């Protein structure tokens, strides 16, 4: 498992479920911008939103020098550092498909901070970058894992981004398409 240095990490970058379910209480939350990465459904989820037999899809930070990702910087209370870091590692590195990186964020108020981010490993078998929208829609509409339906993950992320003024048109379109497909599926 690739891990960051052991110095105290002050900030974490949330671009998916960490926005609406960080699992800890940040001392500060700030809109943030990360250059060089795209938010994308590029990780086959075999734990949280799918299973090994029927993987779901979750968001990852996919390296792209021409892209930028808007999200939320979450500040960790110094006294909670070790506990929060252990929690995040257990949650985010469960299959080692992400790698931890300390990356520069620009906060909405202009501050520059270094933050822990979980970046997709393209060399990992769970990498699913470049998957056609139709396949993403089908998978997300039907997958279910330990933390619930894959569709809930998508809908929660899209709605929370809109609530904080960061609506993501691609996620909104995907969410609408997943809802439309789910309406045609037989109830289980």
So which residues are the catalytic ones?
A: 92
Other Cβ atoms closer than 10 A to 49: 27
Tell me the CB-side half-sphere exposure of residue 56, using CA atoms within 13 A. Answer: 26
Instruction: Please answer whether residues 33 and 69 qualify as being in contact, where contact means their C-beta atoms are separated by less than 8 angstroms.
Output: yes
- Work out the end-to-end distance of the chain between its first and last CA atoms, rounded to an integer number of angstroms: 38
Tell me how far the alpha carbon of residue 56 is from its chain's centroid: 13
Q: Which residues contact 88 (CB under 8 A, 6 or more apart)?
A: 12, 23, 24, 116, 118
CA distances from 57 to 25, 44, 99 (A): 26, 5, 17
CA distance 114 to 82: 17
């Amino acid at each position: 498992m690739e891990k960051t240095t052991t110095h105290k990490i002050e900030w974490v970058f949330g671009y998916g479920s960490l926005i609406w379910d960080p699992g800890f209480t940040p001392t500060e939350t700030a809109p943030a911008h990360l250059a060089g990465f795209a938010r994308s459904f590029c990780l086959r989820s075999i734990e949280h939103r799918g299973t090994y037999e029927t993987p779901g899809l979750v968001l990852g930070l996919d390296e792209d020098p021409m892209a930028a990702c808007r999200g939320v910087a979450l500040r960790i209370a110094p006294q909670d550092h070790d506990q929060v870091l252990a929690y995040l590692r257990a949650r985010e590195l469960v299959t080692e498909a992400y790698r931890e990186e300390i990356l520069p964020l620009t906060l909405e108020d202009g501050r520059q901070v270094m933050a822990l981010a979980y970046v997709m490993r393209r060399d990992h078998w769970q990498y699913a970058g470049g998957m056609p929208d139709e396949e993403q829609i089908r998978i997300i509409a039907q997958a279910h894992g330990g933390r619930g339906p894959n569709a809930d993950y998508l809908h929660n992320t899209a709605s929370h981004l809109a609530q904080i003024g960061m609506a993501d048109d691609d996620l909104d379109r995907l969410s609408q398409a997943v809802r439309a497909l789910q309406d045609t599926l037989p109830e289980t």
